[in-house]
Structure 1
Amino acid sequence: MSRDQLHVSVWAAAAIFVVAVGIVRPRRFHWTALTSILLFAALNTGAGVYVLNHYSDPRWSEVASTQLSAPSLAETPLVGQFMGPLDSALKAVVTGVNDFMSFKAALPVALDFLGAAGWALLISFPVGVLVAAINFVVGKRRTAGFEKYRATVDLLKDEVEKLKLHIQGTPGSADLLGLTEQETQSILSSTQTSPTTRLP
């Protein structure tokens, strides 16, 4: 996977997450947006760390593909047999130079990914505040709706109690209401136990 393909993969993964979760849970899109930003930051961080761990990979720059090579001093006529230790030391120096050049070339690529992760984290702070505010407003609306529902239930229970007392205390009230004696007893027995209150 090349550098450009890695960039496209990070953006594609975040976009697919937004679309998929947004379709499944459309009412909580604010949470989906915040999670996708954090996912984008995590993916960019992982990509930056991957580049640094594979800094010698030629995909990040052309420097890695053009490595320096140390000349072999051991093949020098006459004195070549005495140049063995110097030959290995020279190869170690050249290898160190190649690693440094490869790391130097891969560092901007890694910083590009890490910079994108930093911007995503920076954007996540105001988005997080917005999500918290939305949750607060939604919570207050739910609480207000629950209180309104409880008030309605309590009012209906009071009306039922008043009707029950009126039926029990007023002779002939059942006839005035057009109720038979069996219907009156059914109303009285149904009000002995209050039903369990449940939110719709």
Structure 2
Amino acid sequence: MMEMLSGATVDTFKNLVWTAAVVVGLLFLIGSRVSTPLTITARLVTAATAGTAAFAAANLAVVFYILAHLMDPRWSIGRDATLQSPELSAGPFFQPVTDTLNDIPDGLTGNLNNVIALKNAFLTMPEFIIAARWASFALVGCAVANRILSSITEKKQIKQIDRNTQDLADIRAQIGLPAFRDTKAGAR
């Protein structure tokens, strides 16, 4: 997996984040049939919640990947160019001296290029951090909507159970069987 990511660009990471969110959201749509508008809405909100959570997590995963590969030149594409050090040259007699002198600007240029790569990595990460932040805000809204829908569904299910229990009690009374004993906590 890491070999595949080593060639990925920033745009590829953005596409992977969206793909992961959509796939996770769609996976939450798969399941048993839903028949009422309330259960359809609940399923859609659950899928949106899962997709949003996956989007936030994938963005943070990209941030951690960038942090693990700070000096990677991929973060510099389209930003600051790397520096090249000038090469000193001389005749064969002075070649050892010029090689030694060339090592000094090469080391300095390498260190400056590392600083540029580090700066560009830190300039790339906010895109993913901000996306994760907005997804977290949306996640709170989705969680509230999920809670409201589950509360409404639970109340409807309790009413249905009460109706079914009453219907069963009526049927038992009609055929002459004794009434149900209440087994709820605290009932005697």
What is the TM-score normalised by the length of structure 2? 0.70
Separation of aligned partners in 1, 2:26 and 2:104: 57
The correspondence for 2:52, drawn from 37, 55, 63, is: 37
Separation of aligned partners in 1, 2:147 and 2:59: 25
Residue 113 (structure 2) pairs with residue 98 (structure 1): yes
The correspondence for 2:70, drawn from 23, 37, 55, is: 55
The correspondence for 1:14, drawn from 8, 21, 32, is: 21
Counterparts in 2 of 1:50-199, with a 5 A limit?
A: 50-62=65-77, 66-69=82-85, 80=97, 93-161=108-176
Q: Which amino acid aligns with 2:25?
A: V
**Ranges in structure 1 where 5+ consecutive residues have no aligned partner:** 162-190, 195-200
Give the number of the structure whose alpha-carbon radius of gyration is greater. Answer: 1
Q: Deviations over 1:42-95 (max 9, x none)?
A: 0011111212222222222246762444878xxx95x959xx7x9877766544
Separation of aligned partners in 1, 2:15 and 2:87: 42
Separation of aligned partners in 1, 2:17 and 2:161: 43
**Ranges in structure 2 where 5+ consecutive residues have no aligned partner:** 1-7, 181-188
Asked if the contact 1:44/1:114 (under 8 Å) is kept, the reply is yes
1:32 Cα deviation after fit: 1.8
Question: CA separation of 1:70/1:95 partners in 2, compared to 1, >3 Å: closer, same or farther?
Answer: farther
Separation of aligned partners in 2, 1:3 and 1:52: 14
Q: Which range moved further: 11-20 or 108-117?
A: 11-20
1:112 Cα deviation after fit: 0.5
Percent identity between matched residues is 21
Matched residue of 1:59: which SS?
helix
- The corresponding residue for 1:183 is none
Asked if the contact 1:56/1:64 (under 8 Å) is kept, the reply is no
Q: Could you say which structure has the greater relative contact order, defined with CA pairs below 8 angstroms and 6 or more residues apart?
A: 2
- The corresponding residue for 2:9 is 2
Number of residue equivalences: 161
- Alignment RMSD (CA, Å): 3.2
